[in-house]
């Protein structure tokens, strides 16, 4: 068993679980393909019901415990089995659903870096939010810290949105996400961002 001191020395990791996150294990995962090179972070946004923040519904969805009759919107997603590795709430709280060594079900049909099936070699991070809405300062702080921690354990070099890896099918995290703010928070790390956001001005400029 890994001791707290050993976890700290490993950058806070106990296997593929980050010790600084609250753990809410999801059954929706599987093994990565042999030889998978985990070099991509995929950013998403989610809120359930859409535009409603702070409730337990996202965690319930990812753990297959959502009451499909609790809101009319849930009938549109009834029965889906999805997950992400991490979820960043509006107040900056970090929740982990899937061991980062494993394959979470977050990307769907996708392509990036000339590769198909981004679930195979990516880490999925959900931000509590709605496409087009702004995100909170605490979320950017947590996200930047998480990206740095992931880069300490995995050969992560690319960061993209769901909208970039599945264009025409997905639009998250959307125009309310401040890509320059994230880039500024990761200035000491050499990450590769999508060309269309690499030189975008900050949202408040």
CATH code at position 114: 3.40.80.10
Give the structural domain span for 179.
36-198
Work out the pLDDT band at 11, boundaries 50, 70, 90: low
Catalytic residue among 57, 59, 126, 163: 126
Query: Whole-number mean pLDDT of the chain?
Result: 93
Q: Rounded to the nearest 10 degrees, how much is the dihedral formed by the CA atoms of 101, 105, 109, 113?
A: -20
Torsion angles phi and psi, residue 33, rounded to 5: -60, 150
Strands, E, within 113-195: which ranges? 115-116, 122-128, 158-161
Residues 88-107: tens digit of each pLDDT: 999 999 999 999 999 999 99
Query: Is residue 57 annotated as a catalytic residue, yes or no?
Result: no
- DSSP per residue, 12-50: SEETTEETTSEE---S-EEPPPTT----EEEEEEE-SST
Residues 115-174: tens digit of each pLDDT: 999 999 999 999 999 998 999 999 999 999 999 999 999 999 999 999 999 999 999 999
Instruction: State pTM to two decimals.
Output: 0.94
How many C-beta atoms lie closer than 10 Å to residue 112's C-beta? Answer: 20
Q: Is residue 21 part of a domain?
A: no
Domain total in the chain:
1
Q: Is residue 28 part of a domain?
A: no
């Amino acid at each position: 068993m890994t001791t707290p001191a050993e976890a700290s020395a490993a950058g806070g990791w106990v296997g593929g679980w980050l010790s600084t996150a609250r753990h809410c294990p999801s059954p929706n995962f599987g093994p990565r393909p042999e030889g998978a090179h985990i070099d991509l972070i995929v950013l998403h946004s989610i809120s359930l019901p859409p535009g409603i923040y702070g409730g337990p519904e996202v965690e319930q969805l990812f753990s297959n415990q959502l009451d499909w009759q609790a809101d009319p919107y849930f009938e549109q997603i009834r029965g889906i089995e999805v997950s992400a590795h991490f979820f960043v709430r509006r107040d900056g709280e970090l929740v982990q659903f899937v061991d980062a060594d494993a394959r979470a079900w977050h990307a769907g049909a996708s392509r990036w870096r000339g590769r198909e099936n981004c679930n195979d070699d990516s880490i999925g991070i959900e931000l509590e939010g709605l496409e087009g809405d702004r995100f909170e300062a605490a979320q950017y702080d947590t996200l930047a810290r998480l990206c740095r921690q992931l880069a300490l354990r995995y050969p992560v070099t690319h960061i993209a949105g769901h909208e970039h890896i599945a264009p025409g099918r997905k639009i998250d995290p959307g125009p309310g996400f401040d890509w320059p703010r994230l880039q500024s928070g990761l200035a000491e790390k050499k990450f590769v961002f999508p060309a269309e956001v690499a030189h975008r001005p900050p949202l408040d400029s």
